[in-house]
């Protein structure tokens, strides 16, 4: 994902890209300058210099432990400009419980749920099956299906601040929305490929989505993003779409919240779907993101050829 977006940005006329990375890892991005760092102090100094000098800083970091939020704060503290959501949106969407409450208050459908404090046990009277997840998790980290009250009782004390929400049947999907001061541009929806072992591990995605599902996915994603404080850059919206023709992505759950379309969470950053979308795009997806974020018009079109992409960014045309 990092290599893909950096290569695309560097391909734009009059744009130069510098990547800061841990020297233990190799990154291959065409026409990009690499700034390797080896210590925490060195990374802070290099990051400060790059963020203050650049026209834009694109942060790719997990929400876990406040990582994304603290990095974005540092960019703005040093006078930099984020090519992505600002602090209010990042702070909100780094907390899954707060995001759900915010969206529900704005009339956006989200699964029924509740906050669970660290060390507390799961309530016996919640409408199971349900899903437990860390409030600040990403990439399916710590997510578990709780099939019944019996399973909930056996789960034991929750090890981190969590959100417990009703399991929703349907097709797991994602919509990337490019955001700017003049428009919100939804990209083609992707079907999410998740493990069916009750852990919902992210395996990658596929596109295109069936037209009737894609239309509903775009409508709901835009509806959700419109409520957010000053969306900018790339925002990912994870959804579950009711599909009377198919089964849930987890066949072991027989019950759950009534059939409907729901927003599951919002990712205030670039997501893995970028690699699949750029492969389907006839132009430079990063250039369109930059233009839309700056309030400029952008041309975008996509191929209909089916493809899948893996969690590691590998793309397969099917």
The residues, ordered by sequence, that sit 6+ positions from 150 with a Cβ below 8 Å of its Cβ are: none
DSSP 8-state symbol, 318: -
User: Quick check: is 257 in a domain?
Assistant: yes
Confidence of residue 256 (pLDDT cuts 50, 70, 90): low
Q: Give the residue-averaged pLDDT of 199-205.
A: 95
Total count of domains within the chain: 3
On whether both 161 and 198 belong to a single domain, the answer is no
Share of the chain above pLDDT 70, in %: 96
Q: Which pLDDT tens digit goes with each residue over 117-173? A: 999 999 999 999 999 999 998 878 899 999 999 999 999 999 999 999 999 999 999
Crossing angle of helices 273-280 and 285-293, in 10° steps, is 110
Inter-residue contact 216 to 189 (CB < 8 Å): no
Q: Count other Cβ atoms within 10 Å, centred on residue 254.
A: 10
In a domain, 104, yes or no: no
pLDDT at 245 over 80: no
Residue 96 lies in a domain: no
Confidence label for 21 from pLDDT (cuts 50, 70 and 90): confident
Could you tell me where the DSSP H helices lie in 11-105? 40-53, 67-77, 87-93, 96-105
Mean pLDDT of the 263-283 span: 96
> How many of the other CB atoms lie within 10 Å of CB of 112?
16
Distance between CA atoms of residues 275 and 288, nearest Å: 15
Enclosing domain of residue 82? 2-91
Query: Are both 180 and 312 inside the same structural domain?
Result: yes
- H helix or E strand, kind and range, residue 234: strand 233-241
Q: To the nearest whole number, what is the mean pLDDT of the chain?
A: 93
Percent of the chain exceeding pLDDT 90 equals: 86
Q: What is the mean pLDDT of residues 32-60?
A: 93
Q: Are residues 306 and 241 in the same domain?
A: yes
Residue 99 lies in a domain: no
Q: Give the per-residue pLDDT at 278.
A: 97
pLDDT in the model for residue 141: 87
100 in a structural domain: no
Angle, alpha carbons 210-314-67 (nearest 5°):
95
Amino acid 131: pLDDT? 97
pLDDT for 253 equals 47
In a domain, 105, yes or no: no
- The reported pLDDT for the residue numbered 226 is 98
Shared-domain flag, residues 119 and 159:
yes
Residue 81 shares a structural domain with residue 150? no
Residue 251 has pLDDT above 50, yes or no: no
Contact 171/243 with Cβ under 8 angstroms?
yes
Whether residues 162 and 176 fall in one domain: no
CB burial readout 205-216, b (16+ within 10 A) else e: bbbbbeeebbeb
176 and 162, same domain (yes or no): no
pLDDT at 45: 94
Look at residue 138 in the predicted model and tell me its pLDDT: 84
What does the pLDDT average to over 10-22? 93
pTM: 0.93
**68-87 pLDDT tens trace:** 999 999 999 999 999 999 99
| Per-residue pLDDT, 170 | 94
Q: How many CB atoms lie within 10 A of CB 313?
A: 15
Residue 129: inside a domain, yes or no?
A: yes
**Pick the residue with more confidence: 257 or 153?**
153
pLDDT of 252: 45
Burial state string for 9-48 with b = 16 or more CB within 10 A and e = fewer than 16: bbeeeeeebbbbeeeeeeeebeebeebbbeeeeebeeebb
Return the CATH number at 127: 3.30.1490
**CATH number of the domain encompassing residue 260:** 3.30.470.20
Query: Is residue 66 located within the same domain as residue 158?
Result: no
Answer whether 16's CB lies under 8 Å from 50's CB: no
* Confidence band, pLDDT 50/70/90 cuts, at residue 246: low
Phi/psi at 59 (nearest 5 deg)?
A: -90, 125
Q: Is there a single domain that holds both residue 298 and residue 267?
A: yes
Both 85 and 134 in one domain: the answer is: no
Q: Are residues 278 and 154 in the same domain?
A: no
Domain end point (choices 91, 126, 141): 91
| Domain-embedded: residue 215 | yes
Last residue within a domain, chosen from 146, 166, 186? 166
Are residue 215 and residue 296 in the same domain, yes or no? yes
């Amino acid at each position: 994902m990092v290599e893909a977006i950096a290569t695309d940005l560097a391909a734009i006329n009059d744009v130069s890209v510098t990547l800061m990375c841990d020297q233990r890892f190799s990154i291959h991005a065409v026409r990009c300058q690499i700034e390797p760092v080896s210590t925490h102090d060195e990374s802070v100094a290099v990051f400060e210099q790059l963020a203050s000098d650049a026209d834009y800083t694109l942060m790719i970091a997990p929400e876990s432990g406040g990582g994304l939020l603290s990095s974005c704060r540092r960019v703005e503290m040093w006078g930099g400009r984020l090519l992505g959501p600002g602090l209010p949106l990042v702070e909100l969407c780094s907390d899954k419980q707060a995001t759900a409450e915010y969206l529900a208050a704005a009339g956006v459908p989200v699964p029924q749920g509740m906050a669970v404090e660290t060390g507390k046990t799961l309530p016996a009277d919640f409408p199971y099956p349900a899903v437990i997840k860390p409030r600040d998790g990403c990439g399916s980290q710590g997510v578990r299906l709780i099939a019944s009250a019996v399973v909930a009782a056996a789960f034991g004390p929750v090890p981190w601040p969590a959100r417990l929400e009703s399991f929703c049947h349907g097709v797991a999907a994602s919509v990337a929305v490019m955001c700017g001061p003049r428009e919100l541009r939804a990209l083609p929806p992707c079907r999410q490929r998740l493990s069916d072992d009750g852990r919902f591990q992210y395996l990658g995605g596929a596109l295109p989505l069936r037209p009737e599902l894609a239309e509903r996915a775009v409508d709901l994603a835009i509806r959700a993003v419109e409520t957010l404080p000053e969306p900018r850059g790339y925002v990912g919206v994870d959804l579950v779409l009711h599909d009377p023709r198919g089964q849930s992505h987890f066949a072991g759950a027989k019950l759950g919240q009534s059939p409907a379309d729901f927003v599951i969470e919002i990712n205030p950053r670039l997501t893995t779907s970028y690699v699949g979308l750029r492969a389907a795009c006839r132009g430079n997806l990063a250039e369109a993101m930059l233009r839309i974020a700056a309030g400029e018009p952008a041309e975008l079109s996509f191929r209909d050829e089916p493809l899948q992409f893996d969690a590691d960014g590998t793309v397969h045309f099917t």
